[in-house]
Amino acid sequence: MLKKKTDVELADILAELVTEISQKLDVDMNIKLWDGRILPLGPNVTSDLTLVIAHPGVIASLLKGPSLDKIIRHYIHKNLDFEGGTLFDIGEQIVFNKSRKRIKEISKSTFLKKLAPFLLVPSLKPEDSRAYEGDEAGSTAAKKDAKKFIEFHYDVSNDFYKLFLDERMTYTCAYFTDWDNSLDQAQFDKLDMICKKLRLKEGETMLDIGCGWGGLLIHAAENYGVQAHGVTLATEQYEYAMKRIKEKGLEGKVKIELKDYRDLDEQFDKISSIGMYEHVGIDQVENYLSKVRSMLKPDGLFLNHGITRRGKKTKKRLFDRPEKRAIQKYIFPGGDLDSLGNTIANMEKCGFEVQDVEGWRMHYQKTTQEWCDRLTEHQDEAIALVGEETYRIWVVYLAGVSLTFLKGSMRLYQTLATQNPKGMPATPQTREDLYQ
């Protein structure tokens, strides 16, 4: 019969298990228990990186019902924490350890039997904090839901985003022509590469769907002389972008509307969609692409820049997994990831001819890792602006996304397309002009 243990006795039990397991783990980090003792999690630990468990109720909670959502909530409420590094560092140690085969040698029944006393401990049950209230899966895909989804993520605080974004407030994948480049330089190079791929010419009209804080529109107007038009559903982004446009004297060159792209009825020479595709939803992809095609002039170019998942043998989506539910609940309600193959197939189905595809997975991995590091460095300022729970949600989000790019579960592609061909497409014969 199980007997209730004191917190010290429970720490002794866990410490014994950690000591046993550590000989089979290939990680360079520690674990800190609720009684303050610090134990190495590997046989040759030299790092100060430490996973902190604040209460035995955390073990009880996960033992009785393990889930990714629960782990996230424990981290948000500081029941799980880290010291001596970043959350990315912790995740990298866990995701890329090379000792999984050795871990399988440990008897699960013996392991669970030793942990059995934790079943008598009251589980810590951290409540949801900053979670979307409503249909976070976006099954209705209504316009009113789309605005709520976007505002939930982007209208947190412009000053909060300034803490970790570049000087232009670019919240999409940077482009590192040199891995040692600064984030500011890499985001400038990204904006310029987009303009080059669209072969922008002075006097042309350009639409940017989901224009964010207006960085691409301003860059295109200043450096390529286009008439730039953007739409966003995020009020704070819109107000910030309009202020920047006025400060730069670009009122006659750049126009931004607080509007759903589906409500536009104009045509443009060039259209970009940078990091907006993930918000569309798989079931709405054909409608999205058909609308884009209707807004593109016959000889125009369309650049779609979006995160994708790996193609699967089955139709099961990456976002049918716990990662999806967590991201939709805390970060991007309504978000979904397509595969590259399905994106291209739907482009062709909707009357596009794909001219170019380029993968930027590691560029986004580096971008999100830098965002995570920069936000972590500005912890106190971030907490003062948005509160500790929101700060911690963004840290776990950025670290998790960066790790997912690193292991290849998510990818990033730029896909350039024209309308179906009737002769020569509106692109050069080679990519040579992109690198001049």
Tell me: do 251 and 391 sit in the same domain.
yes
Tell me: do 81 and 189 sit in the same domain.
no
* Among candidate residues 120, 152, 171, the one where a domain is terminated: 120
319-354: b (≥16 Cβ within 10 Å) or e: beeebbbbbbbbbbbbbbbbbbebbbebbeebbbeb
Cα separations in angstroms, 393 against 39, 94, 411:
27, 19, 22
Token pair of 254 as six digits: 């750049």
Tell me: do 64 and 23 sit in the same domain.
yes
Give 339's strand partners: 309
Enumerate residues 6+ apart whose C-beta is below 8 A from 287. none
Q: Is residue 279 part of a domain?
A: yes
pLDDT at 312: 74
Q: What's the number of CA atoms in the CB half-sphere (13 Å) around residue 26?
A: 9
Q: Is residue 362 part of a domain?
A: yes
Tell me: do 281 and 386 sit in the same domain.
yes
Q: Is residue 245 part of a domain?
A: yes
- Reported residue count of the chain is 436
Per the CB < 8 A criterion, the answer to whether 115 and 311 are in contact is no
What DSSP assignment string belongs to 300-361? Answer: EEEEEEEEEE---SSS--GGGSHHHHHHHHHT-TT---EEHHHHHHHHHHTTEEEEEEEE-H
pLDDT at 130: 59
pLDDT at 113: 83
Provide the 10 A C-beta neighbour count for residue 105: 8
* Among candidate residues 120, 155, 171, the one where a domain is terminated: 120
Residue 227: its H or E element: strand 227-232
Per the CB < 8 A criterion, the answer to whether 206 and 198 are in contact is yes
pLDDT at 136: 47
Tell me: do 100 and 188 sit in the same domain.
no
DSSP 430: S
Tell me: do 180 and 307 sit in the same domain.
yes
Quote the CA–CA distance of 408 and 362 in Å, as a whole number. 9
Q: Is residue 136 part of a domain?
A: no
Provide the 10 A C-beta neighbour count for residue 49: 20
DSSP 39: E
Q: Is residue 101 part of a domain?
A: yes
Enumerate residues 6+ apart whose C-beta is below 8 A from 5. 13, 117, 120, 121
Enumerate residues 6+ apart whose C-beta is below 8 A from 293. 302, 350, 351, 352, 419
- Average pLDDT, consecutive stretches of 10 residues, N- to C-terminus, the chain (436 residues): 84 90 86 95 91 92 84 87 90 76 67 85 71 50 55 73 96 97 98 98 97 97 98 92 96 95 96 92 91 96 93 58 59 72 95 96 97 95 91 89 90 94 84 88
DSSP 93: H
Residue 38: its H or E element: strand 38-40
Quote the CA–CA distance of 385 and 251 in Å, as a whole number. 31
DSSP 117: G
Enumerate residues 6+ apart whose C-beta is below 8 A from 399. 86, 87, 88, 90, 91, 369, 372
Q: Is residue 128 part of a domain?
A: no
Closest C-alpha among 280, 239, 270, 278 to residue 145:
280
Give 306's strand partners: 413
Q: Is residue 133 part of a domain?
A: no
Tell me: do 276 and 191 sit in the same domain.
yes
pLDDT at 318: 45
The count of structural domains within the chain is 2
pLDDT at 132: 44
Per the CB < 8 A criterion, the answer to whether 234 and 171 are in contact is no
> Which pTM value belongs to this model?
0.87
Q: CATH code at 391?
A: 3.40.50.150
Cα Rg, the chain, nearest whole Å: 24
| Residue with token string 């590469």 | 193
Tell me: do 258 and 370 sit in the same domain.
yes
Q: Is residue 125 part of a domain?
A: no
Tell me: do 86 and 226 sit in the same domain.
no
Tell me: do 104 and 202 sit in the same domain.
no
* Residue range(s) defining the domain that contains residue 90: 7-120
Between vectors from CA 340 to CA 339 and to CA 343, what angle results, nearest 5°? 90
Per the CB < 8 A criterion, the answer to whether 28 and 92 are in contact is no
Tell me: do 199 and 327 sit in the same domain.
yes
| Residue with token string 């536009």 | 264
Closest C-alpha among 278, 371, 364 to residue 318:
278
Quote the CA–CA distance of 191 and 173 in Å, as a whole number. 10
Closest C-alpha among 430, 410, 229 to residue 310:
410
Tell me: do 202 and 291 sit in the same domain.
yes
pLDDT at 319: 45
